[in-house]
Amino acid sequence: MLAQAPNELWSWDITDLRGPVRWSRFKLYKILDVFSRYVVGWMVAHRESATLAERLIAETLGKQGIVRDQLTLHADRGASMRSRPVAFLLADLGVTKSHSRPHTSNDNPFSEAAFKTMKYRPTFPGRFGCIEDARSFCRTFFDWYNTQHRHSGIAMMTPEMVHYGRAEIVREGRAKVLAEAFNAHPERFVRGMPDPKAVPAAVWINSPAQEMLSEEGGH
């Protein structure tokens, strides 16, 4: 699956957030744009439910203005992801459904990486006192992640810059600053005029090259 612009390929997943007592869990649902890494939708609930997932997906599609045959939605093979309510919703709205390959744990890497970023933050608590605490934390985290987090996979841009088409303007600004620095002190740049990194033109989940390597490794 290939994305060459925002809102062509999304990835969604659900993770546990530990509650106030042993064995208590809240469920964090998250939908992420693969090209921009922008979290387009999220929800914290008491349980995992296909009905809740269907509602979140429908609301997020509406907020992003997704039209028929525009989007592919990727997920692992969990029960909610493969549920009939979600499948029927996507079919009704003209969204292509995609799932990770069976017994392949790394086929949903973008969602997993965002969860890891969240859980490795110094402010991430071991437990949440109540569901409102979990929602408050996620609200703050996803605002930071979308608008302040400089992501290495998108040329140290924020997801918001890429998702809403400001990345090239930012890159031009960086190039101007670097050119001024080079002109002032060229001796400091042993490799010549620096060129700021650009956002990748395309992002894959399971690129053909990766799949070929996987198949060769299995022989």
Return the CATH number at 139: 3.30.420.10
Spatial distance between the Cα atoms of 202 and 5, rounded to a whole number of angstroms? 7
pTM recorded for the entire structure: 0.91
Strand partners, 33: 10
Question: Does 141 fall in a domain?
Answer: yes
Question: Does 198 fall in a domain?
Answer: no
Q: For the chain, how far is it from start to end, CA to CA, in angstroms?
A: 24
Specify the DSSP class assigned to residue 64.
Answer: T
Question: Does 184 fall in a domain?
Answer: no
How many CA atoms are closer than 13 Å to the CA of 191, on its beta-carbon side? Answer: 3
Number of compact structural domains in the chain: 1
143 lies in which domain range? 2-163
Residues 6+ apart with CB under 8 A from 24: 18
User: Residues 9-64: pLDDT tens digits?
Assistant: 999 999 999 999 989 999 999 999 999 999 999 999 999 999 999 999 999 999 99
Query: Which segments within 34-189 are labelled E, that is strand?
Result: 39-45, 72-75, 96-99
User: Residues 77-88: pLDDT tens digits?
Assistant: 888 898 999 999
Question: Does 91 fall in a domain?
Answer: yes
Question: Does 177 fall in a domain?
Answer: no
> 3-state DSSP call for residue 94?
coil
